[in-house]
């Protein structure tokens, strides 16, 4: 074999086990991947354009949300066999094009499902009991008991849209509150369990006292919660969104609050995230001044515990993938 052919063969063998990591992840992933024979190139501070230039040198990519893994990046990754998304949502990856190129996609919703479920419950309890308002008033020297009278969860109907890992986790966390949990999922049937009963969207709209979103961002779900959608609810609701910000039109939420259709909204995600972009939205001042809204900075699935669990889940799925494709 000519020397140049030998060099190319050795290079390809090395590329087969190289993983580029472009975001901060727990070290346990690297430890377990390297135990499987992979070499991890950990570059959490790498810039998107820098990553683009070296994508072709790796068979694996681990990312969170540093950049959109679009056709440009996937074409640059000429040796990519798999991409690990350190989290649940895959909306920053062109899944269809990755499938065309034979690239396996791995995500880890099992790793942060408990975090999301607990965060959603926390937002709901805070809204129903005016925690944010009461806290601010007392700090300002105001003591108002009657104005901060809350609602009990017991006996309420909680409607869940999307009954995957996150929706199921939320339903399970609610099981001790003696609520009626109903769930709608366009892509699943026969999923009723001890924590939730499968229903139609019509029943969600008719019966819900609480609406909680646990859906991915797709062309179908973008702007799902708009003025018309909220209008059809038969009862005033509390709205929880720990899924993706663009599934809810913020202006529609604020309109519904003024109309009494939404009693309170707990938003971990919103249409525009991070500053200065968020402050430039026409509805931002009204949103930040509303005492009917509680905002958190897209942290529902990002706890100290989930930081590790996400990496453990990704490593286990990589191990299973490696077993399947081993000679």
Same domain, 30 and 163: no
For 118, the domain range is: 112-295
- Going residue by residue through the chain, which has 327 residues, state the pLDDT in tens, using 9 for 90 and above: 454 443 344 344 456 799 999 999 999 999 999 999 999 999 999 999 999 999 999 999 999 999 999 999 999 999 999 999 999 999 999 999 999 999 999 999 999 999 999 999 999 999 999 999 999 999 999 999 999 999 999 999 999 999 999 999 999 999 999 999 999 999 999 999 999 999 999 999 999 999 999 999 999 999 999 999 999 999 999 999 999 999 999 999 999 999 999 999 999 999 999 999 999 999 999 999 999 999 999 999 999 999 999 999 999 999 999 875 554
On whether both 164 and 261 belong to a single domain, the answer is: yes
Are residues 153 and 257 part of one domain?
Answer: yes
Is 325 among the residues known to form the active site? no
The encoded tokens of residue 225 equal: 């919660």
Distance (Å, whole) CA 327 – CA 324:
9
Task: State yes or no: is 137 an active-site residue.
Answer: no
* Number of Cβ within a 10 Å radius of residue 298: 17
Find the angle CA(157)-CA(160)-CA(165) to the nearest 5 degrees: 135
Please state the domain count of the chain: 2
pLDDT of residue 14: 54
Using CA atoms, how far residue 212 sits from 102, 123, 227, in Å, is: 35, 11, 17
- Mark whether 298 is an active-site residue: yes
Residue of 178, 220, 273, 320 marked active site: 273
Is 41 inside a domain boundary? yes
Assess whether 127 and 14 both reside in one domain. Answer: no
Domain assignment present for 18: yes
Tokens 């309170």 sit on residue: 264
Identify whether residues 62 and 27 lie together within a single domain.
yes
15, 32: one domain: yes
Residue 322, pLDDT score: 81
One domain for residues 63 and 169: no
C-alpha to C-alpha distance for 305 and 263, rounded to whole angstroms: 32
Q: Are residues 194 and 261 in the same domain?
A: yes
Residue 203 maps to a domain = yes
- Spot the catalytic one: 39, 43, 298, 319: 298
pLDDT of residue 324: 56
The Cα–Cα gap between 109 and 86 comes to: 9
Shared domain check, 214 and 77: no
- The residue annotated as part of the active site, out of 32, 85, 244, 271, is 244
Task: Determine how β-strand 60-63 pairs with β-strand 18-21.
Answer: parallel
**208 close to 157: Cβ distance less than 8 angstroms:** yes
Look at residue 301 in the predicted model and tell me its pLDDT. Answer: 96
Residue 170 lies in a domain: yes
The confidence score (pLDDT) of residue 212 equals 98
- Whole-number Å distance between alpha carbons of 61 and 77: 9
DSSP 253-277: HHHHHHHTSEEEEEES--SS-STTT
CATH number, domain at 314?
A: 3.40.50.720
- Is the same domain home to 136 and 32? no
* Residues linked to residue 20 through DSSP beta bridges, in sequence order: 41, 61
Q: Give me the pLDDT at residue 323, please.
A: 76
204/184 Cα distance (integer angstroms)? 7
Domain co-membership, 253 together with 131: yes
* Same domain? 189 vs 313: no
pTM metric for this prediction: 0.92
Q: Is 300 within a domain?
A: no
């Amino acid at each position: 074999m000519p020397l140049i052919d030998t060099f190319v063969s050795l290079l390809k063998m090395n590329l087969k086990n190289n993983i580029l990591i472009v975001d901060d992840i727990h070290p346990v992933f690297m430890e377990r991947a390297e135990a499987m024979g992979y070499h991890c190139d950990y570059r959490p501070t790498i810039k998107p354009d820098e990553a683009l230039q070296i994508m072709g040198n790796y068979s694996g990519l681990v990312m969170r949300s540093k950049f959109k893994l679009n056709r440009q990046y996937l074409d640059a990754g000429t040796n990519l066999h798999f991409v690990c998304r350190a989290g649940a949502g895959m909306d920053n990856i062109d899944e269809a094009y990755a499938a065309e190129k034979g690239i396996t996609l791995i995500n880890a919703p099992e790793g942060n499902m408990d975090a999301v479920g607990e965060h959603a419950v926390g937002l709901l309890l805070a809204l129903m009991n005016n925690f944010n308002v009461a806290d601010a008033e007392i700090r300002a020297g105001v003591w108002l008991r009657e104005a901060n009278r809350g609602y009990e969860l017991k006996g309420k109907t909680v409607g869940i849209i999307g009954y995957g890992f996150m929706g199921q986790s939320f339903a399970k966390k609610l099981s001790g509150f003696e609520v009626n949990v109903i769930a709608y999922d366009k892509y699943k049937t026969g999923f009723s369990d001890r924590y939730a009963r499968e229903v139609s969207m019509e029943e969600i709209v008719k019966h819900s006292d609480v609406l909680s979103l646990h859906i991915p961002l797709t062309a179908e779900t973008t702007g799902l919660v708009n003025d018309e959608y909220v209008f059809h609810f038969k009862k005033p609701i509390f709205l929880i969104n720990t899924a993706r910000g663009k599934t809810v039109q913020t202006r529609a939420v604020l309109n519904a609050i003024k109309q009494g259709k939404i009693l309170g909204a707990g938003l971990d995600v919103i249409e525009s995230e991070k500053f200065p972009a968020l402050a430039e939205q026409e509805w931002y001042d009204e949103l930040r001044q509303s005492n009917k809204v509680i905002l958190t900075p897209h942290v529902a699935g990002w706890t100290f515990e989930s930081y590790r669990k996400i990496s453990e889940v990704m490593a286990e799925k990589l191990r299973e993938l490696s077993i399947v494709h081993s000679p």
